[in-house]
Structure 1
Amino acid sequence: MRSYDDLITEASAADVTGWDFAWLEGRATEERTPWGYAQQLAARLPTASAALDLDTGGGEIIAGVPALPPRTVLTEAWGPNVERLRTRRHAGTGASDAVPTVVPQVVQAATDQLPFADATFDLVTSRHPITPHWHEIARVLTDDGTYFAQHVGPRSAFELIEYFLGPLPHARTARDPQHESAAAHTAGLTVTDLRTARCRMEFHDIGAVVWTLRRCVWWVPDFTVARYEPQLRDLDAQLRAGQPFAAHSTRTLIEARRRPRRSH
């Protein structure tokens, strides 16, 4: 294994835009969920008339979909990801990277105030939304429209997060799928499918840890190599001894239908 300094320098300089984790290949692993979100999304999108994907990152998931609805809109709030999305859009999307028949519209927007009229989309999707703003999701869905998403679940990667931050008892209650289901119902949605999964993660070198914490900035919000050097060096020693660092991601698959609005 290369030196601590070499691994840290490499990970600190590597690109962390988008939602592509290929940089971790051979350095970290994560079990997949049993339901295959990307495959299900690819099957659903062509059946929609107008689809909205929220917090789409760099568009990596949508880029793998071979057929899109006549109107497809991608929203993302973070500027570097928006630029990545626009570059990808002009280069083409789809599994073959050919120029698609439908070119997605890219909109820079946060999900708490979506710049779309009521009842605009019959399908709203998201893979790992930052926060599901249920009233906005319900507002832009047509009557009987569908929300289909994979959320981050409660206590996801908390072994790694609490290694750096210490115990976070209050944060452990966030992203509870039952609470999210109840909030969706209050907003006007009926949850028709709700599944959960706990997937093992392993980190094999300290560069993988640093890159991941740079990419998932909300895990350890004040993370810098200098601030957490003692913990990083201790963890590096463990990894060099052949003991990978294990954590667990949690995921929620949720599907919900927009209940018809009351006529006035």
Structure 2
Amino acid sequence: MPTFEQLVAEGESVPTDGWDFSWFAGRATEQRPGWGYAALLADRMSRASAAADLQTGGGEVVATAPRVPRQFATETWPPNAALACRRLPGALVVQVAEHSPLPFRTASLDLVTSRHPTYTPWPEITRVLRPGGTVLTQQIGHGTNRELSEFFLGPLPPPRSTVYDRRRTLGDLDVHTLTEATCRVEFFDVAAVIHFLRKVIWTVPDFTVARHHDRLRAMHDHITEHGSFLSHSRRVLVEARKPLSTAP
């Protein structure tokens, strides 16, 4: 069985590019929401003629769906944008700063998608959608992996209502689906915890192995005693449509 030091070294060495979580196989698990985002994405993409996937990461999720005649993707981090260009041949991948306007013409898209964005530009999405166009997104809910965050940071304020917060930000879009799920997340060794915290950086802001060495040792001892560390993610499914134009 690997020692604590060996697991720490492994967790620090794994590349964090992209949103491919296959490295975690056998080391961590995350329950999926019952709505099946990948199947919903495939269905909506199969009926679209012009679509954009926002904060696509390395294009891992949208690459599993049918291609559309005019396909676009945006990404904020250059290494991920390079991965997406290779993974999505035929699509135009654009590197865009997180809070910048979307690089698409007004009313030019009939589908906008995004899985686990760190920021959702709802007014910009409304602008680029055609009347009757759809936005489909699976979002990270408030309080996701709270147990993991509190293990390193101590007690945190109670999470606010994610569904209420999302509904308030949707503006003029007509809500079709707005629902939330709580899912089990289980880590089976401290290397998986380290890699996750290096990859999903908002879980423990400013995480480093050196800064959090004592808590990592405590995490290793907890997993050794109990077999795993249990946390929970919160996921929110949003599907909304831009109203049809009522102009004469």
Q: What range is the shorter-chain TM-score in?
A: over 0.9
Gaps of 5+ in 1: 91-102
- Cα separation, 2, equivalents of 1:147 and 1:131: 14
Among 111, 132, 145, the alignment partner of 1:123 is 111
CA contact (8 A) 2:133 2:242 kept: yes
The 5 Å alignment of 1:204-215 reads 204-215=188-199
Q: Which residue of 1 aligns with 2:34?
A: 34
Letter of the structure 2 residue corresponding to residue 131 of structure 1: Y
- Cα separation, 2, equivalents of 1:236 and 1:11: 12
CA contact (8 A) 1:125 1:147 kept: yes
Q: Which residue of 1 aligns with 2:210?
A: 226
Task: State the Cα distance separating 1:111 from its structure 2 match.
Answer: 4.9
2:178 equivalent to 1:179: no
TM-score w.r.t. the length of structure 2 is 0.95
Task: State the Cα distance separating 1:262 from its structure 2 match.
Answer: 5.7
The 5 Å alignment of 1:166-205 reads 166-169=154-157, 172-173=159-160, 176-184=162-170, 186=171, 188-205=172-189
2:154 equivalent to 1:155: no
- Cα separation, 2, equivalents of 1:111 and 1:54: 10
Q: Which residue of 1 aligns with 2:22?
A: 22
Letter of the structure 1 residue corresponding to residue 93 of structure 2: V
Q: Which residue of 2 aligns with 1:107?
A: 94
CA contact (8 A) 2:184 2:231 kept: yes
Q: Which residue of 2 aligns with 1:237?
A: 221
CA contact (8 A) 2:78 2:95 kept: yes
User: How many pairs align?
Assistant: 247
Letter of the structure 2 residue corresponding to residue 107 of structure 1: V
Task: State the Cα distance separating 1:196 from its structure 2 match.
Answer: 1.1
- Cα separation, 1, equivalents of 2:240 and 2:87: 30
Letter of the structure 2 residue corresponding to residue 59 of structure 1: G
SS at match of 1:162: helix
Query: Cα deviation per residue 1:19-72 (whole Å; 9 max; x = unaligned)?
Result: 11111111111111101100111111021110010011011111212x211001
Query: Cα deviation per residue 1:86-136 (whole Å; 9 max; x = unaligned)?
Result: 22235xxxxxxxxxxxx1110111353111111110100010111111101
SS at match of 1:241: helix
Task: State the Cα distance separating 1:164 from its structure 2 match.
Answer: 0.9
Query: Cα deviation per residue 1:124-168 (whole Å; 9 max; x = unaligned)?
Result: 001011111110110110111000111111200010011111222
- Cα separation, 2, equivalents of 1:177 and 1:16: 30
CA contact (8 A) 2:60 2:87 kept: no
CA contact (8 A) 2:85 2:91 kept: no
RMSD: 1.5
- Cα separation, 2, equivalents of 1:68 and 1:88: 12
- Cα separation, 1, equivalents of 2:209 and 2:46: 44
Report the identity percentage: 44
- Cα separation, 2, equivalents of 1:222 and 1:142: 40
- Cα separation, 2, equivalents of 1:111 and 1:140: 16
- Cα separation, 2, equivalents of 1:168 and 1:109: 32
Letter of the structure 1 residue corresponding to residue 82 of structure 2: E
TM-score w.r.t. the length of structure 1 is 0.90
